Amino acid sequence: MEILKVSGNSQPKSVAGAIAAVLRESGSVEVQAVGAGAVNQAVKSIAIARGYVAPNGIDLICIPAFARIEIDQEERTAIRFLLEPR
DSSP state at residue 72? T
Distance CA 16, CA 37 (A): 16
Residue 1, pLDDT above cutoff 90: no
Interval 45-85: pLDDT, tens: 999 999 999 998 999 999 999 999 988 999 999 999 999 99
DSSP state at residue 56? G
What's the Cα-to-Cα distance from 63 to each of 9, 71, 73, 74, rounded to whole Å? 23, 23, 27, 26
The predicted model gives 7-19 an average pLDDT of 96
Q: Please give the domain boundaries of the chain with CATH numbers for all domains.
A: 2-85 (3.30.110.20)
Interval 35-49: pLDDT, tens: 999 999 999 999 999
Q: Residue 71: its pLDDT value, please?
A: 85
